[in-house]
Amino acid sequence: MDPKLGRMAASLLALLLLLEGGMFSSHSLPPALLEKVFQYIDLHQDEFVQTLKEWVAIESDSVQPVPRFRQELFRMMAVATDTLQRLGARVTSVDMGSQQLPDGQSLPIPPVILAELGNDPTKGTVCFYGHLDVQPADQGDGWLTDPYVLTEVDGKLYGRGATDNKGPVLAWINAVSAFRALEQDLPVNIKFIIEGMEEAGSVALEELVEKEKNRFFSGVDYIVISDNLWISQRKPAITYGTRGNSYFTVEVKCRDQDFHSGTFGGILHEPMADLVALLGSLVDSSGHILVPGIYDEVAPLTEEEINTYKAIHLDLEEYRNSSRVEKFLFDTKEEILMHLWRYPSLSIHGIEGAFDEPGAKTVIPGQVIGKFSIRLVPHMNVSVVEKQVTRHLEDVFSKRNSSNKMVVSMTLGLHPWIANVNDTQYLAAKRAIRTVFGTEPDMIRDGSTIPIAKMFQEIVHKSVVLIPLGAVDDGEHSQNEKINRWNYIEGTKLFAAFFLEMAQLH
């Protein structure tokens, strides 16, 4: 063969292997550099855990609207700003104004951090989103340790925010710090957008992203979020989709005051009876939603999609035991995953105005409000779902011939998000996982809602990937939240390898 043709054939084969995302060998990355970075991370893991301990100690609760927690949130953002500046980042702390609460109180919103490291036009630019606020936590609520004192037990780091989301944010920062400490050039330009109000609905963030679309985000090529969990305890995952959420209230009212059941029981259309009938009409005992037309726009199931569920590692017995559930609605891995990710679900959350305290109180509530939500999937539309639910409840209520008044409201409407798994950063993430963990990742969706992913995709128009670090049993939002030391440290290596893979593939 002509040598020139041979070289062309070899180049073409290399390109095809790259595009195909064939089995990755660490030799594709600079092995000496990779080894140095990983060794640095291993040697400094106690320092990384200590920093996480310091961050967990800040009670950055955004859910409870009280001045003390807001002060803690501002302190948390200041600590993060200082950490990034010491790395050499150019940091802007964006004033987000104040939040008006229903009781007339006004509280300041913590600033959003916009930070930049590197602006080499020949490199790709990866933007990392994270949040440093947490859910409420109190040791009296069932925590085995003080939730704001990071406590290590058997390799598990317990503390509020350890996995959601302080641990993953620090893992990204730690990965950057490894390159800096080794005096190595960062393989990619890196930007950060870090907020302090995610758990309270990311107040005012969408407006900021819209405003910065052609400024801060103009040079961004890819967006990475690490704010969810694996589906197993040991096998890493990449998330490419989440469900949306439509949250409803249905109010049934007779009058403002409650009634005595001995005086009025038997002669009224009781609001609670109406409400229970309405809530009972929404979903059957097999989890099937009874609202007419609700499944019409659900994306059809393909053979290729079924195969992705078959490939996912999920030990049903372990999953059931860790969930402390006697029996699920479905018996196979594939059915469970599909009903968590690609089919809608309806959940009834509670009733406001009903007697719910210990003891016996013979009261007839004069007014009650039921609360429920529907998790949406591609290609369901929020406004269409709102109309379908309202029409259904009105039909059910009219058949009861009740003299009470009923009002249906949708208080939250968030669309589902799904990404193209063939985008460059998905290939880079897969390769980085193979390097660090020696396995193919589970390609998963998330049954919950992560509005920021859809928001970035729609406003910034860049590829978004979710690279979770935490194990399925981390207990985000729950008592005894934790992140495993192994996940935290190997996750730091994963992000470092991801930077190098992005540099190769960009």
Which residue numbers are catalytic? 133, 198
Q: Which residue's structure tokens are 């590829």?
A: 463
Take residue 148 and report the two structure tokens written for it. Answer: 């704001």
Q: Output the CA–CA distances (angstroms, integers) from residue 169 to 46, 128, 181, 232, 440, in the order listed.
A: 17, 8, 18, 21, 23
- Helix, strand and coil in the chain, % to nearest 5: 40, 20, 40
Nearest to 379 by CA among 291, 465, 300, 293: 300
Chain centre to alpha carbon of residue 24: 28
Amino acid, single-letter form, for residue 153: V
Distance from C-alpha of 317 to C-alpha of 323, rounded to nearest angstrom? 10
Distance from C-alpha of 245 to C-alpha of 447, rounded to nearest angstrom? 10
Task: Label the pairing between strands 222-225 and 125-131.
Answer: parallel
Q: Is 227 annotated as a binding residue?
A: yes
Nearest to 370 by CA among 344, 396, 343: 396
Half-sphere exposure of 294 (CA within 13 A, CB side): 22
DSSP string, 380-417: --HHHHHHHHHHHHHHHHHHTT-SSEEEEEEEEEE--E
Q: Is 164 annotated as a binding residue?
A: yes
**Which residues, including other chains, have CB under 8 Å from residue 350's CB and lie 6 or more apart?**
370, 371
Distance from C-alpha of 292 to C-alpha of 391, rounded to nearest angstrom? 9
Take residue 12 and report the two structure tokens written for it. Answer: 């073409």
Query: Judging by beta carbons within 10 Å of its beta carbon (0-12, 13-18, 19+), is residue 359 exposed, middle or buried?
Result: exposed
Q: Is 199 annotated as a binding residue?
A: yes
Distance from C-alpha of 220 to C-alpha of 462, rounded to nearest angstrom? 8
The C-alpha angle 240, 245, 250, rounded to 5 degrees, equals 170
Q: CA 359, 363, 365, 370 torsion: positive or negative?
A: positive
Distance from C-alpha of 199 to C-alpha of 62, rounded to nearest angstrom? 6
Nearest to 199 by CA among 110, 300, 291, 86: 110
Could you list the residues known to form a binding site for Mn(2+), using ranges: 131, 164, 199, 227, 477
